[in-house]
Structure 1
Amino acid sequence: MKESKVESYLHCTKCKEETPHIIIYINNEIKSVECETCQQKQEIELNIIKEFYKELYNRISTKPSRITQEYKQDLNHFILSIPKRVIRKPYSAVKYINSSRKIIKNYKKK
């Protein structure tokens, strides 16, 4: 899962003018919008677990086509990169799961 914060100028209904806002996205879905001037925050209901499973399904289901495309582009590079991938993949999987777990834990409390 990926959490990202974007700063933007939006019209605030409380301030009645254009003010800086922080928009929080989780997997390209808006989670919240907060005015930096008056701290009015709009939360958007987002099923974090559903987003996690949707992302996981997408990663798993597209893997065969991505691998096929990769070896068709450059077979030598693909074959030479397999040993590195075998070593790195468990580490990257654990890193992904831990970062997703932190995001899920953070937003399940709220």
Structure 2
Amino acid sequence: MVVPERGQIIKVNFNPQLGSEQAGYRPALVLSHTAYNQITGMLLACPITSRLRGYPTELVLPEGLETHGAILSTQIKALDWRVRPFTVVEKLDTAILEQVLDRLIAVIA
């Protein structure tokens, strides 16, 4: 079984969902460290949406990637990747990952 790595964009099912949470089979950015993912079988991910709302916490993905849309940096979800089938789409540049983490820290710090 392939362990999801920090900085990868994966496609995973976010269902079940409640209220304003993102739902469905969609791309997501893995935030948690690979070692954490491997040891716990869990991962922390931000969903990616194609509906841009213009919130300062959204990070629009740059041109040239297979994945299009915006990373929702404040909609973090813990997922058990051992029971939720996922596929790896691509790996993001570290600079983009850092921008997502900066937006998250601005909200929780």
Shared fold per TM-score greater than 0.5: no
The structure that is helix-richer by fraction is: 1
Q: Which has the higher contact order (CA 8 A, sep 6+)?
A: 2
Computing the radius of gyration over CA atoms, which structure comes out larger, 1 or 2?
A: 1
Pick the TM interval, shorter chain. Answer: under 0.3
TM-score normalised by L of structure 2: 0.20
